[in-house]
Structures are given as structure tokens and as C-alpha cells.
Amino acid sequence: MNHQKKIGLVLSGGGYKGIAHLGALLAFEEAGITPQYISGSSAGAIVGALYAGGYSITAIKSFFKKTPLFRFNKFTRKKPGFLDSEKFYDDFSSFFPENTFESLQRTLFITTTNLIEGTSKVFSSGELIKPILASAAFPGIFSPIKIGNALYADGGIMDNFPITPLINHCDMILGVNVTPVKKPTAKDFKHAYNVMQRAYYLMSIANAQNNFKHCNILVEPEELVNYGIFNAYNLDKVFELGYSEAKKQLITYRANQEN
């Protein structure tokens, strides 16, 4: 593989399933592939930011395991959402003491949704933590984040697979999509979060399919359809699914290059 290429990595949203991104990253590292440019949405923004900050896969995996979402002290008061996104600020401040994109070791693009304008907004400079929180602010669960005069929420609403920022920078693009979709039955909708999860998946399909074709390698573990975006159990299994699928796609890529 040509190590002189400018390599980009796009990471989709997907809640706790974002830990599969880390499994894929481990497979890429073992193959000697190091992306210089990273674009992420929602969970992909969190993983991408920590990886761009130079943190190891082990450290990022630990962050996911040690940062439970539904703690009593995180609930909102007089804000739209069950959980107050800004109360997660301190969870990131120790990882990003300088709190800027410019302090990162790799170029990072974070996709959010401007709720006022109804448009996608990409952050790549200046303050870092608020765009991360905004990109992961799942609608209805997490409160949106105010940046300047606008309110921003989950990047997956408008662009769950944000490849566009990488196209003009990279010779090779790796993609990891952790939100494959299966057709549910009526019996699958037992709780409100089942409905919200389904809505999220439908949004991700609508705005991601056309972007997949730009990837030189696309990692999309099909078995992830059996795991929920808010389910913090079986994270090691989710990690392994990302790893094994990335290894499989790397073998396929190399075989195609040799033919």
C-alpha cells in the first residue's frame, strides 16, 4: 500500500455502536495505515476527535466504557431534551485541555446540524469541545448546543456519513459505517427509544448511501443491526465486529489491487 498517499477516514454516527470504529482503527493500524484527515458525525465525531488528539485505541475504548449517559446529574432542567449536553463538557476537558482543533495531531472535521437554518455545518477550527457535544446531541435525548447565535444538534440528522470534507484533501478514503439497517417488524417497537432509533437509521440511510461510493475501503459490519445505539452492553463484542470486518475488507482491497 502506498504510504505516501494522503489518507482520510470518515466515521459515521451510531451511539454506543461507535466503539466498532475503534475495532476498525486497530485493524488499520495493524495494516500500517494511518489517516491524516478524519471526518466524523455524532459518535464518529467523538472517536475521531480523541483519535486525532493522539489518544490510543485502548484509551478511547476506556472513555466509552467509563462515560455512562443516563446519570441523574446529567438530566436537563428547562432545556429541550432528557440529558443536558453541556454537563458532559468536563468529560472531554481533561482530554482536550487546549480545546482547539489546531492543537490536534491530525486534521479533524466535525459535522453538526444547524437547527435554526436546517443545514449541515462542519467545524474544523477554533473551539473543539462544543462542536463535539453538538455533533453527538441526539435529537430528543440530548439538548442542543448553542454556538454563537445558532443551535446545533446531532450531525447525523443531515449527514451521518460526512465524507465531503475529505474528498478534496485525500487520495484514499477509508469509511466506517456502524449503522447498517434491517427491516423491523411491528413487534420490534416496544419502547420509545425503538422508534427514535428507527428514525435515526432511516435518516442515516437517506443521506449516506451516495457517499459510500467515494470510499476506497468501506467497513460496514452487518451484525451491528443486532445492537442498539443506546445499549452499553456487549461493547467488547461490538469492538470485535468492527475489527473483524475491517480485516476482511483490507484483504479484499489488497486482492483487488493485485489483480
Which positions are annotated as active-site residues?
A: 42, 154
> Of 8, 105, 12, which Cα lies nearest the Cα of 51?
105
Cell of 57: 485505541
Distance CA 9, CA 40 (A): 8
- CB neighbour list of residue 209: distance below 8 Å, 6 or more residues apart: none
Cβ atoms within 10 Å of 204's Cβ, excluding its own: 25
Please give the single-letter amino acid code of residue 161. F
| Residue 216 Cα to chain centre, angstroms | 19
Cβ atoms within 10 Å of 243's Cβ, excluding its own: 22
Distance CA 179, CA 119 (A): 22
Element (H, E) at 251: helix 235-258
SS3 of residue 7 by DSSP: strand
Q: For the chain, how many residues are written?
A: 259
